[in-house]
Structure 1
């Protein structure tokens, strides 16, 4: 059996990882092509192991799947990364007005996550209280947030309201100059952002987990 060269092995590893991520994220190659804007032939060559993307394209794929670059480029063992170092992600509780979001005063605990399964960026958890985002996010769930000042229309964000003292999870909707924070539960009313009713986006919701 012919031994693979280093370059061939790297292409094979990348292709295997990309195809695993498609299944995990319930995506198709057509979704990747449409959502990233990359050429169809180029994307298909990555997924078939024919070509290896440049670093900027690897980062774009990592951002698309919300994983670190190593989840795309490094060999996996039974679907897990070789590196199993744990990282403690802070859980944000009540917000002290004027304090940075991850100030000690705002942290009510931590959740441990495998380092190489985490997306890039400054991360924190919010503990969901209430049913305004049900059934998407049930009461008591923990939602991983990547700190960033804005999100795309329709995405779920962690948002500061009530004079920057309360963090809430809502879907951001824009209609012209109007910005609304929409609950997924239609029993709740939208929060309309105005100068008298301000809000500030803390970050994008990436994934949800819950304890049994």
Structure 2
């Protein structure tokens, strides 16, 4: 039984609809819950903890790590690099740019090359809290209104911003407009997308 099957079983035991469970989790629609139950996606971090509290079960149970199958289920962990200062002219994941690593369960990760950035400042609050870790999937393009890691200041600094397109103009928008201004990308102020934000983690 996969995690989505367990969530569906527990939800139905409590006589909850997908919409009702989504509301208890703080979601506006049931889409995320539906994807979990069809095993198209998996709850992580805070959502996994909330589900455990709602259903009064352990995270291990939801993940299938019960006493019955702990000996047969092997969980693979992957170390994902945390980028520190980006060294101008060096590859993004060059050794001198790596400040540490975070371990993640392999089966919960999206495909592709991944790295973490730790946020500094509050330009993306409340969407991305200050001092949180944001997982980035390395890619050079982004859809309108998605959050991306972008190299600015001569490729020497990585920033997280929401990318908006108006015609041929790309703008890097803060979610927090209190004291933060949009950045308009042009020849005088170039920028380069290095990846898409796919997950936020917070250490308490």
Q: TM-score, normalised by structure 2?
A: 0.70
State the 1:83 CA deviation: 3.3
Q: In the alignment, which residue of structure 2 is the partner of 1:166? A: 157
The residue number in structure 2 matching 1:192 is: 184
- Which of 84, 90, 93 pairs up with 2:81? 90
Q: Size of the alignment, in residue pairs?
A: 166
Listed one character per residue, the Cα deviations across residues 48-95 of structure 1 (whole Å, up to 9, x for unaligned) are xxxxxxxxxx9xx46xx799xxxxxxxxx7221633222111000111
Give yes or no for contact 2:185–2:191 (8 Å, CA) kept in 1: yes
Residue aligning to 1:80:
63
Report the Cα distance in structure 2 between the residues aligned to 1:120 and 1:127, rounded to whole angstroms: 21
Q: What's the CA shift string for 1:12-58, capped at 9, x where partnerless?
A: 859727959x76895536998xxxxxxxxxx9xx95xxxxxxxxxx9
Q: Deviation string for 1:154-209 (max 9, x for gaps)?
A: 11000000000000000000111111000001020001000110111111101111
Mapped pair 1:16 → 2:5: yes
Which residue of 2 is the match for residue 71 of structure 1? none
Do the aligned partners of residues 156 and 30 (structure 1) sit closer, same or farther apart at CA in structure 2, a change above 3 Å counting?
closer
**Alignment TM-score, normalising by the size of structure 1:** 0.67
**Is 1:112 aligned to residue 103 of structure 2?**
yes
Q: Is the CA contact (8 Å cut-off) linking 2:3 and 2:62 kept in structure 1?
A: no
Distance 2:200 2:61 in 1: 23
Give 1:137's match in structure 2, choosing from 112, 118, 128.
128
Partner of 1:147: 138
Aligned residues of 2:148 and 2:197 also touching (Cα < 8 A) = yes
* Preserved contact between residue 157 and residue 202 of structure 1 (Cα < 8 Å): yes
1:196 and 1:166 mapped to 2: Cα distance? 16
Contact 2:171 2:184 in 1 (8 A): yes
Question: 1:198 and 1:18 mapped to 2: Cα distance?
Answer: 46
Cα distance in structure 1, aligned partners of 2:8 and 2:172:
35
> For the residues of structure 2 that align with 1:180 and 1:95, how far apart are their CA atoms?
22
Q: Alpha-carbon deviation of 1:143?
A: 0.3
SS in 2 for 1:16: helix
**Alignment counterpart, residue 203 of structure 1, candidates 195, 199, 203:** 195
Query: The residue matched to 1:154 in structure 2 has which SS?
Result: coil
1: CA distance, partners of 2:43 / 2:113: 13
Secondary structure of the structure 1 residue equivalent to 2:148? strand
What SS does structure 1 have at the residue aligned with 2:87?
Answer: coil
